[in-house]
Amino acid sequence: MGGAVSAGEDNDELIDNLKEAQYIRTELVEQAFRAIDRADYYLEEFKDNAYKDLAWKHGNIHLSAPCIYSEVMEALDLQPGLSFLNLGSGTGYLSTMVGLILGPFGVNHGVELHADVIDYAKQKLDFFIRSSESFDKFEFCEPSFVVGNCLDISLDSTPYDRVYCGAGVQKEHEDYMKSLLKVGGILVMPLEEKLTKITRTGTSSWETKKILAVSFAPLIQPSKTDSGKSKTVHLPPSNVRSLQDLARIIIRGTLKKIINYEAAIKCGNGLKNPPRFKRRRIRRRRMETIVFLDKEVFASRIPNPFDDNNNCEEAEEERREEEERSLPELKPDPPINYLREKILSLPLPDPLKYYLLYYREK
């Protein structure tokens, strides 16, 4: 699946194309997509294809096309503090984007059939947390992954606010998928060759909307053990955060508010350089007159007393443009991580500072 939008030169251009084609329609979803470089989830030898609107598969590793992930993210209608379950969580790319929106008090769980893919997802998650320039712009709900078949989830599991299944669901499993959802929750899954959004409006009432035609590999049926039963999948517990963890969240949030306040004051005092706009060049046309006399046409130019002045202005404008082109192109300054600087300036022992920074390298 994919190919709905043009390929991008980089992640931002891919997102621009998805926005232009109306696959990305909300600011929250756009911010999450821009924060995570899709190429980081590709193996090195396949990164040339990362910004194409195409699915990618290598062994057990799989990524859906960007246009599919865009529609899924928009359909889920994610909000901070919700619980999310990703069935067939794969590389963790989608779960990580979701975690940026859920925030620190959300729940973010994934079930993946292949243990090697979970290892891959954990590596990519660790890389994002430790090295992404976007991490400090968000308060993150870190995903947790478990190995197993998503059709074997324990019946006593707590239902979720949002559920996504990344494999084709057979009609016979539709009710099972619905049972994983809270009242008021949203389930998005490929059902009968259509990406489908199901909203649970009551204990036994539902609203169904077909989003677009898709082609997904079907869910793999559970394998039986020697006892003739399949292995039950127990989802991660929704643990209460430690006091230490809560303190880190509150301190980081407070520092961000201080940084935003200080930035607002600087802008208000006119310290921020106003943007420079290139002057638009105006071409002045010479006036012509056409005289119809009987059946003959006479054309002549009416002299304009301002022609000489116009010529001087155009020459001056061309000279300025030539000077602008001859100036060396200045590289933009690297972005400053004000939160990191603020934390490192606190009168705290270094171990506490690095804890507040999630032990990030930059």
**Lookup: tokens for 348:** 């705290």
Q: Which of 64, 70, 89, 95 is catalytic?
A: 64
3-state secondary structure the chain: CECCCCCCCCHHHHHHHHHHCCCCCCHHHHHHHHHCCHHHHCCHHHHHHCCCCECEEECCEEECCHHHHHHHHHHHCCCCCCEEEEECCCCCHHHHHHHHHHCCCCEEEEEECCHHHHHHHHHHHHHHHHHCCCHHHCCCCCCEEEECCHHHECCCCCCEEEEEECCEECHHHHHHHHCCEEEEEEEEEEECCEEEEEEECCCCCEEEEEEEECCCCECCCCCCCCCCCCCCECCCCCCCCCHHHHHHHHHHHHHHHHHHHHHHHHHHCCCCCCCCCCCCCCCCCCCEEEEEECCEEEEEECCCCCHHHHHHHHHHHHHHHHHHHHCCCCCCCCCCCHHHHHHHCCCCCHHHHHHHCCCCCC
Q: Is 204 a catalytic residue?
A: no
Residue numbers annotated as active site: 64
